Amino acid sequence: MFVCVSTECFPDRPLARAMEQLAELEFTAVEIDIHEQGGHLRPGEVVSNPESAIADCSDLQRLRPVAISFSAPETPDLYDRFTACCRLAKSLGVVTIVVDASELGTPFNGEIERLRRMVSIAAGLGVLVGVKTTAGRMTQDPETTSSLCRNVPGLGITLDPSHFIFGQKKIVSWEPILKYVFHVHLRDTKPDSFQVRVGQGGVEYGKLVNQLERVGYKRALCVHLAPLEGVDSIAELRKMRLLLESLL
């Protein structure tokens, strides 16, 4: 296992500046966000000008790209955008692409077909798909998430423990889905607050690392801290990096 960080930690800075800041914080690996809403890069831009997208990602400040986070609306050209981002991932040597599950209420068979198509596209380009565990979406509970993975060969999970803690009377166990984990997003969380300062929440990082070690997980632990009002983001990112590195 190793520590990486998401460019989403600096949503209001240009991508090059975000990379520079993350390198100054002594991170060595990075997840690049490519979101239609608020991303440093947008899937539509990757489709229309792939060379420019590669150039935008070329100044990585010694950071090794290990994942891409993809988010785009369900439009007719969704798969064209996804394919373009997978091609970008391949050109950067990125293994994992993080995708959202569909919202609750989506027919199960329809979600199976959507994810199968994504996995097929990604596999053809040597990329793995990790669907993210998210409250309000079809991956909000481990049982349904496991069922998706069983029905979509090659599908993995981007585990985000915060969604099993926030809003819950009791922390939901993610043990049943650990064997499917391809990627991990981390912040500190309490039942009544999605993100709190590092060390003030209920995420047991040491326990999580031990659980992942037992299933042979050897990929990234990605720091995914949004800016908090009145909190020094730089200090929080540094604190999280040092905490995770101390556990590995």
CA–CA gap between residue 124 and residue 65 (Å, rounded): 20
The pLDDT confidence band at residue 57, using thresholds 50, 70 and 90, is confident
Give the pLDDT confidence of 219-228 residue by residue, as tens digits: 999 999 999 9
- Predicted pLDDT at 78: 93
Range of the domain at 114: 2-247
Number of domains into which the chain is organized? 1
Q: Which of 183, 236, 182, 194 is nearest to 21 (CA)?
A: 236
Could you report the per-residue pLDDT of 177-200, keeping only the tens digit for each?
999 999 999 999 999 999 999 999
| Phi, psi of 183, deg, nearest 5 | -160, 160
Specify the range with the lowest mean pLDDT, choosing from 61-65, 80-84, 89-93.
Answer: 61-65
| Mean residue pLDDT across the chain | 93
Q: At 103, which CATH number? A: 3.20.20.150
Decide if pLDDT at 7 tops 70.
yes
Going from the C-alpha of 90 to that of each of 52, 108, 225, the distances in angstroms are 15, 30, 26
Confidence of residue 61 (pLDDT cuts 50, 70, 90): low
Residue among 3, 19, 27 at smallest CA distance from 59: 19
Burial of 220 (0-12, 13-18, 19+ CB in 10 A): buried
CB atoms within 10 A of CB 11: 15
Instruction: Indicate the pTM of the whole model.
Output: 0.94
Section 65-77 average pLDDT: 91
- pLDDT given at position 62: 82
